[in-house]
Amino acid sequence: MLEHALPFQKIVFVCCNQREPGERECCANKGGKELRDKLKSMVKARNLQSKIRVSQSGCQDKCEHGPNLMVFPENRWFSHVSEAELEYLLESIIATLDGQPSNVTTQSPPPVVERPSPA
Ligand code: FES
């Protein structure tokens, strides 16, 4: 066995797990494969294949929150990802290349505070 440093700065695992009808829900039925393809093409269009690897994964055991993707080495989990959000997601990954600190917020938006309506 030989051990090496990771050949990419970032690895994005997009869950593409496919299940049969009647089984637990799966990311493939919620657009996981399309997200993988789109993200791969976006990385290629920016010529970042040597820095960012987009790989499909099997089940990440967060099926009810899918489609899911996970970004390493930051250990970030993104759930309910839509194609419209990939641009933001990829830009946030690009911003952390070459040792830049992460700028992605994983905090929930502030709670909605109900105010009494004006009289
Ligand atoms: S099928 Fe995607 S997390 Fe389980």
Pick from 14, 30, 59 the residue to mutate for probing ligand 1's pocket: most ligand atoms within 8 Å of its CB: 59
Cα dist from 56 to 11, 16, 77, 85, 97, whole Å? 10, 6, 14, 18, 21
2 alpha carbon – ligand 1 mean position (Å): 31
As given in the structure block, the two tokens for residue 10 are 């970032």
Q: Which pLDDT does position 104 carry in this prediction?
A: 54
Structural domain harbouring 86? 10-98
Find the 118 Cα to ligand 1 centroid distance in Å: 47
How many structural domains compose the chain?
Answer: 1
pLDDT of 107 reads: 46
Strand order in the sheet with 52-57: 52-57, 10-15, 69-72, 76-78
Residue 57 lies in a domain: yes
pLDDT tens-digit series, residues 63-117:
999 999 999 999 999 999 999 999 999 999 999 998 877 655 554 433 444 445 5
Q: Which residues pair with 57 in a beta bridge?
A: 15
Task: Tell me the whole-structure pTM to 2 decimals.
Answer: 0.83
Asked if residue 5 belongs to a domain, the reply is: no
Domain harbouring 87, CATH code? 3.40.30.10
CB neighbours of residue 56 within 10 Å: 19
- The alpha carbon of 18 and the centre of ligand 1 are apart by a number of angstroms equal to 8
* Ligand 1 near 62 CB (within 6 A): yes
Among 114, 111, 71, which Cα is nearest to 93's?
Answer: 71
Asked if residue 113 belongs to a domain, the reply is no
pLDDT for the residue numbered 43: 98
- Domain membership flag for residue 43: yes
Mean pLDDT along residues 14-36: 97
> Mind listing the pLDDT tens digit for each residue in 36-70?
999 999 999 999 999 999 999 999 999 999 999 99
> Which residues is 76 bridged to in the sheet?
71
